[in-house]
């Protein structure tokens, strides 16, 4: 009886071991299939995120002229005009330059980090100047677009598993206290919008490059 019982226990143990191995194999296969299925899905999500970001960049580019027209009415400050004769205002007023995005050799994580940093810079800059402007509606719409694009780029960073950029507030001194008159206010808005347009054009090209390499 003892031997038979021992043999029965041995068979049960072998059966359980085989079952556990089979379950383990199934679990591994299921995990592999999940990873295989997740890869195309994640790529599709990234593609849609890039498309949304590109659309928002185009919207900013289309909204900049309206904001400029509403806020700047001084002769000689056309949006398309060269800023050469006003370059001294850039340093005198302390308008900071955005990160460089022109190189296509930048990795995606560097590009996205610089895009976020540049967008946050222009958002803070325009929010500061808006306090001195008599036309705030168009600037508010533009600021909303900038905020939306920044949030979309943050989502791209998450999808690409890139650590999100932490915005450094107060990275430059407040500009509005140094604007002594309406002319300086309009020059500051003019230069800031010109710079935002140029930066957003670089953002648009960077996003197109990311889309092509995704």
Q: What is the pLDDT of residues 153-188, one digit of tens each?
A: 999 999 888 876 555 454 567 887 788 888 888 999
Asked if residue 29 is part of any domain, the answer here is no
54 pLDDT exceeds 50? yes
Distances (CA, A) of 132 to 1, 135, 183: 98, 9, 11
Burial class of residue 119, CB neighbours in 10 A (0-12, 13-18, 19+): buried
Q: What is the CATH number of the domain that holds 74?
A: 1.20.1250.10
Tens of pLDDT along 181-206? 888 889 999 999 999 999 999 999 99
What would the pLDDT profile of 67-95 be if each residue is shown by its tens digit? Answer: 999 999 888 888 887 766 677 777 778 88
pLDDT of 35 > 50? The answer is no
pLDDT at 103: 65
Q: Is residue 30 part of a domain?
A: no
Domain that holds residue 49: 42-213
* Residue 32: inside a domain: no
H helices present in 72-174, as ranges: 87-93, 108-130, 137-159
- In angstroms, the CA 71 to CA 186 distance is 7
Q: Is residue 174, in this structure, part of any structural domain at all?
A: yes
Q: Is the pLDDT of residue 34 over 80?
A: no
> Which residue do the tokens 């021992």 mark?
6
Tell me what the pLDDT averaged over the chain comes to: 80
Distance CA 180, CA 104 (A): 40
The model's pTM is 0.77
| Local structure of residue 84 (DSSP, 8 states) | G
Q: Is 163 left (phi over 0), alpha (psi -120 to 50) or beta?
A: beta
Question: 1 lies in a domain?
Answer: no
């Amino acid at each position: 009886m003892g031997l038979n019982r021992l043999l029965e226990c041995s068979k049960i143990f072998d059966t359980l071991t085989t079952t556990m191995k089979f379950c383990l194999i199934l679990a591994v296969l299921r995990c592999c299939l999940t990873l295989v299925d997740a890869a195309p899905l994640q790529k599709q999500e990234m593609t849609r995120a890039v498309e949304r970001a590109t659309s928002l960049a185009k919207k900013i580019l289309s909204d900049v002229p309206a904001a400029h027209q509403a806020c700047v009415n001084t002769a000689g400050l056309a949006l398309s005009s060269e800023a050469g004769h006003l370059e001294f205002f850039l340093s005198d007023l302390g308008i900071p330059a955005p990160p460089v995005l022109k190189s296509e050799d930048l990795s995606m994580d560097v590009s996205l980090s610089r895009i976020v940093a540049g967008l946050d810079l222009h958002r803070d800059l325009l929010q500061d100047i808006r306090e001195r402007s008599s036309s705030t509606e168009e600037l508010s719409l533009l600021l909303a677009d900038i905020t939306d694009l920044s949030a979309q780029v943050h989502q791209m960073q998450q999808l690409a598993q890139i650590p999100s950029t932490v915005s450094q507030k107060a990275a430059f001194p407040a500009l509005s206290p140094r604007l002594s008159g309406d002319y300086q206010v309009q020059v500051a808005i003019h230069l800031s919008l010109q710079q935002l347009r140029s930066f957003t054009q670089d953002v648009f090209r960077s996003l197109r490059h990311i889309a092509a390499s995704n």
